[in-house]
Structure formats: C-alpha cells, structure tokens
C-alpha cells in the first residue's frame, strides 16, 4: 500500500527518463567532448583495471588528478551491459533519478504527498539540467543524486547512520564537489547556533566525520596541484580568456533563465514559510546549500552552471513548502471546491514555464553533437595516420580526437596542472586565425604538429570558411575531405 502512494512520482521519473532517452538516441554521438574523455577513461579501467592517472594523448602526454570512482562505476556497468546502452540509456535514467531524491526529501520536510509530487515534477524539468546532463557522459547526474541523498540521510540520521557513512565515502570518491557539502554543513552549524536551533550530538559527529573525510581525500587526490597552485586550484588552471565563461557573477535573470519562474518564486516562499515551521532544521540545511553556492559563485570559486544546477534543485525542494502553504490556504477559503482547477492551472504553468523550455533546451543540446562529416574525419585520422603524431583541433574537440582517433592532441579542456596553458591557448588561436604563413609554420614546428583538422565545428567556432595560409601546397597538403571537414598534413619542417 505504501508503494501505491508513491506511484505518481514513479510515473514522473519514467517520463523524464523517456524524454532524455528519446533525445539521446537521436544521434550516435555525444553533445560535449568531455563525454569522450570519460568513455576513454572508462575503457582504460576495463582494459587495465587502473584509473587513467597518466594520459599519453592529452596535450601530447600529461598526468591527471581526480577521484576515480565514477570511471569504475561506468566500467562495472559496461562490463555487464553494451557500452552504448550504458552511456545513452542508463546515464539518462541516472539523470532522471534526481526526481526520486527530491520527492523523498520534500516528503520528509512537508509530510505532504501532493507537495512532494509537484516538487519532484519541477525537479524533473529544470531547463539547466537538460543542458548539463542530456546526451552527455557526465559525472554530475550521479554527484547530484548522491549529494542530495546524503542530505536526506542526514535529515534522518538516527535511522540511516550507516547509509550516511557509506554515501559519504561514495561522494568524496566521485568528485571534489564533495567540498561543497562540507561547506554546507559548516554553514548549517553556524545558522543553527545563531538561531538557537538544537542540534543532536549525532548530527554534530556526522558533520565532523564528513568534513574530516572530505578534507583527507581532497589532500590525497589533489596534493600535487594544491602544493603547486594553492587556491588557484579552484580556477582549475583555466586560461584567463575562458575564465569569464566558466566563472560568471550571478544575476537574478540567470536564475529565471536557468531553472524557471516556478521553482524560484515557490522556493523563496517555501524558505520564508519553512523558517517558521517546526521542521525548520531541514530548511536550514537546504538553505545552507543555497548560501554556500551563492558565496562560491560570488567569489568565482565554482563553475557558474554547476552552481546554478545545485541551486535549481534546492529551490525545487523548497517549492514543496510553498506549494503546501498555498494548498492549505485554499482549503481554508471558499475556493476549496475549486482545488482541482488550481491543480490543473498549476500543471499548465509548469508545462509552459518548465517543460517547454526544457524541450527547447534539449533540441539545442542535440544540435551540438559533432556532424557526420566531422566524425568521418576523426575516424580517418585513426585509420590513416601514425600512432605518434600530434594533431591540432579546436579546444572543444581535443577529447573527441583522443577518444575517437586515439591520437595525441595539442590541447583539450582538462587544464589542471598543465604548464604554460595560457601560451598554448593563445598559440592555438594564432595557428587557426593568422594570415602569416611563417608564423603558423613556426608554431606548428615548435609543437611538432603533423596535422591540422579543419572541422565544420571549428569553422563555426572561428567564424571562418578557410584557413588563410593552406593554399601553399608545398607546405600544406589536403590529406582528407568529408563535406566541409578537412585535414591538412604539415609538410614544411
């Protein structure tokens, strides 16, 4: 009987999963190049049973620093199911699982199935999540669900002590974003102290355990970068020109565009109402996450879209309180007999404000998959070039080259702990954009680049139809062409 009460959220989970699967299966390829890195790292685990801490292909050869659990998780699934089933379908279902987590957190806070259902529905159609998760092999869906599950187990710690401990290890082994939850717990302690909210000893001990565990594993995995970069590790060694795109100061309009009017307004109402409720401890916890993300965004210590992703789900949870308050208010008035009209109107509002923008975002994401001609070019590189060659691509295609072509790239988006990344990024733009052949040849020879890829995506990125100096047939040979996608072999040394 208890399961029947929750069947509605299962339907929402199924719908969100099917929407994501439907769009993901429209292409054999993925919508960002980081997916190809994660697939290659997973294949490395399958082949060697070891994490890919050293990569011979990235930047021509370099070391990585990261918690490896995500790639082991994918490797286990890929050893059981077909790889594309894992990357396209299971990852889509994992992305939709936030619906279930939000539902049970909201139910814990409100004790109202209808309010929890609407919060889960909102969480399932946050436009930003479609931009971040759809058709991508990303760690964030797993990180997101794990972090909020951990918060749920903290709220119910007396019943779920061992689940809290177990998931704490899982989260710190998944991603350094585990530090965000450590900060959230510390803010929660501060708010509880200021508000004279009683906190059980078991909760304090759980927070101390989690903070210590997170700091310990952060030092273990990132000792090298921490010693060399210090606080600069927060900016991940990203070139200065690109920092403005990853670390943007938050504005109100960004909240509306990223996760819609409904969760924002109902979430704010929920926070205001929840601070006065008997169950305000849970509100303090979710509010602490919102405060922590806001501070990190303001200080530019967290990627802008990652920060908004966590805020969106937090507001979805808080919206359950706002929705319950509105329901209770209507029930006390003469409009109670029109409650079904209210529910229907709210459904329509969610559809227009969240579902439609999410579908539109999904279509945009699928437009970012590599073209068929570009993928033919990357496969040609694998079949027709020597294993030791270095190939120049746009920054956004570096991992596609290493993942599909299995050749050394000049540069990709994993910048951390790679020297002279600013110079490399500047030289990449110079090679593609300069009209001076001697400048291009000098740089190509300095980096021992054997091939230049001029894909259809690169042409869009640089807003150019042709590389200006490749007409010199003595120095540049058009080695392959698929539609507008071309590969040029560098001959002048």
Query: 307-326: buried (b, 16+ CB within 10 Å) or exposed (e) per residue?
Result: bbbbbbbbbbbbbbbbbbbb
List 453's β-bridge partners, or say none. Answer: 487
User: Residue 20 to residues 314, 339, 354, 483: CA-CA distances in angstroms?
Assistant: 21, 32, 15, 30
3-state SS string for the chain: CHHHHCHHHHHHHHHHHHHHHHHHCCCCCCCCCHHHHHHHHHHHHHHHCCCCCEECCHHHCEECCCCCHHHHHHHHHHHHCCHHHHHHHHHHHHHHCHHHHHHHHHHHHHCCHHHHHHHHHHHHCCHHHHHHHCCCCCCHHHHHHHHHHHHHHHHCCCCCHHHHHHHHHHHHHHCCCHHHHHHHHHHHHHHHHHCCCCCCHHHHHHHHHHHHHHHHHHHHHHHHHHHHHHHHHHHCCCCHHHHHHHCCCCCHHHHHHHHCHHHHHHHHHHHHHHCCCCCHHHHHHHHHHHHHHHHHHHCCCCCHHHHHHHHHHHHHHHHHHHHHHHHHHHHCCHHHHHHHHHHHHHHHHHHHHHHHHHHHHHHHHHCCCCCHHHHHHHHHHHHHCCCCCEEECCHHHHHHHHHHHCCEECCCCCCCCCCCHHHHHHHHHHHHHCCCHHHHHHHHHHCCEEEEEECHHHHHHHCCCCCCCCCCCCCEEEEEEECCEEEEEECCC
302 has pLDDT over 90: no
Two tokens, residue 34: 């980081």
Number of neighbours of residue 180 by Cβ within 10 angstroms: 23
Tell me which residue range forms the domain holding 119. 2-366
User: Based on the domain organization, do 287 and 204 belong to the same domain?
Assistant: yes
Q: Report whether 127 contacts 361 (CB < 8 A).
A: yes
Q: Report whether 178 contacts 172 (CB < 8 A).
A: yes
Radius of gyration of the chain (CA): 25
Report residue 409: phi and psi, to 5°: -95, 165
Of 331, 366, 401, which one is at a domain's C-terminal end?
366
pLDDT band at 301 (very low <50, low <70, confident <90, very high): confident
Task: Work out the percent of the chain whose per-residue pLDDT is above 70.
Answer: 91
pLDDT recorded at residue 412: 87
186: Cα separation from own chain's centroid? 24
User: Based on the domain organization, do 317 and 451 belong to the same domain?
Assistant: no
pLDDT in tens, 51-63: 998 888 887 777 7
250 has pLDDT over 90: no
Of 323, 342, 366, which one is at a domain's C-terminal end?
366
Which domain CATH number covers 457? 3.40.50.12610
Averaged pLDDT, 407-412: 91
Of 366, 395, 416, which one is at a domain's C-terminal end?
366
Two tokens, residue 460: 């869009």
Averaged pLDDT, 387-404: 93
Averaged pLDDT, 368-384: 95
Q: Report whether 462 contacts 393 (CB < 8 A).
A: no
pLDDT in tens, 196-236: 888 888 899 999 999 999 999 988 887 766 666 555 555 56
Q: How far apart are CA 267 and CA 263, in angstroms?
A: 5
Quote the pTM value.
0.90
User: Based on the domain organization, do 391 and 329 belong to the same domain?
Assistant: no
pLDDT in tens, 99-150: 999 999 999 999 999 999 999 999 999 999 999 999 999 999 999 999 999 9
User: Based on the domain organization, do 132 and 61 belong to the same domain?
Assistant: yes
pLDDT in tens, 160-169: 999 999 999 9
pLDDT recorded at residue 1: 43
Q: How many domains does the chain have?
A: 2
User: Based on the domain organization, do 47 and 184 belong to the same domain?
Assistant: yes
66 has pLDDT over 70: yes
User: Based on the domain organization, do 264 and 401 belong to the same domain?
Assistant: no
pLDDT band at 339 (very low <50, low <70, confident <90, very high): confident
User: Based on the domain organization, do 317 and 425 belong to the same domain?
Assistant: no
User: Based on the domain organization, do 175 and 286 belong to the same domain?
Assistant: yes
pLDDT band at 480 (very low <50, low <70, confident <90, very high): very high
User: Based on the domain organization, do 399 and 341 belong to the same domain?
Assistant: no
User: Based on the domain organization, do 140 and 66 belong to the same domain?
Assistant: yes
Report which of 142, 41, 63, 66 is spatially closest to residue 98, judged by C-alpha positions.
142
User: Based on the domain organization, do 390 and 359 belong to the same domain?
Assistant: no
User: Based on the domain organization, do 337 and 378 belong to the same domain?
Assistant: no
Report which of 270, 280, 285, 310 is spatially closest to residue 118, judged by C-alpha positions.
270
């Amino acid at each position: 009987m208890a399961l029947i009460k929750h069947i509605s959220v299962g339907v929402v989970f199924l719908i969100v999963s099917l929407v994501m699967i439907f769009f993901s299966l429209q292409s054999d390829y993925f919508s960002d190049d980081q997916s190809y890195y994660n697939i290659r790292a997973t294949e490395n685990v399958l082949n060697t049973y070891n994490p890919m801490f050293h990569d011979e292909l990235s930047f021509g050869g370099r070391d990585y620093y990261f918690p490896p659990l995500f790639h082991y998780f994918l490797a286990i699934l890929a050893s059981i199911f077909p790889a594309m089933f894992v990357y396209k379908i299971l990852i889509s279902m994992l992305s939709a699982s936030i619906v279930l987590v939000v539902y049970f957190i909201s139910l814990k806070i409100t004790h109202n199935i209808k309010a929890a259902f609407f919060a889960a529905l909102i969480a399932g159609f946050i436009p930003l999540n479609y931009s971040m998760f759809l058709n991508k092999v990303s760690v964030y869906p797993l990180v997101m669900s794990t972090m909020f599950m951990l918060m749920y187990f903290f709220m119910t710690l007396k019943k779920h002590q061992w689940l809290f401990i177990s998931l704490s290890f899982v989260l710190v082994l998944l991603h350094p974003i585990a530090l965000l939850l450590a900060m959230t717990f510390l803010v929660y302690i501060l708010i509880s102290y200021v508000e004279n909210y009683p906190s059980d000893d078991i909760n304090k001990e759980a927070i101390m355990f989690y903070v210590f565990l997170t700091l310990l594993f952060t030092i273990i995995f990132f000792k090298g970068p921490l010693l060399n970069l210090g606080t600069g590790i927060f900016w991940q060694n990203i070139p200065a020109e690109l920092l403005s795109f990853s670390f943007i100061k938050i504005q109100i309009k960004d909240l509306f565009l990223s996760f819609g009017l409904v969760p924002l307004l109902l979430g704010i109402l929920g926070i205001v109402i929840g601070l006065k409720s008997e169950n305000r401890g849970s509100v303090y916890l979710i509010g602490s996450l919102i405060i922590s993300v806001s501070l990190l965004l303001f200080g530019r210590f967290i990627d802008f879209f990652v920060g908004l992703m966590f805020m969106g789900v937090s507001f979805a949870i808080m919206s359950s309180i706002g929705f319950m308050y509105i329901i209770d208010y209507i029930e006390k008035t003469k409009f109670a007999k029109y409650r079904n009209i209210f529910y229907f109107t709210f459904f329509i509002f969610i559809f227009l404000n969240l579902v439609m923008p999410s579908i539109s975002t999904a279509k945009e994401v699928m437009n970012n998959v590599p073209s068929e001609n570009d993928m033919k070019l990357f496969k040609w590189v694998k079949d027709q070039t020597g294993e030791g060659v270095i190939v120049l691509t746009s920054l956004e295609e570096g991992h596609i080259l290493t993942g599909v072509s299995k050749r050394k790239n000049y540069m990709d988006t994993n910048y951390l702990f790679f020297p002279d990344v600013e110079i490399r990024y500047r030289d990449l733009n110079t090679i593609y954009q300069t009209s001076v052949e001697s400048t291009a040849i000098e740089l190509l020879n300095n980096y021992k680049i054997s091939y230049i890829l001029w894909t259809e995506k690169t042409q869009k990125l640089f807003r150019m139809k042709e590389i200006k100096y490749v007409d010199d047939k003595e120095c540049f040979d058009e080695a392959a062409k698929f539609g507008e996608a071309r590969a040029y072999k560098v001959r002048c040394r």
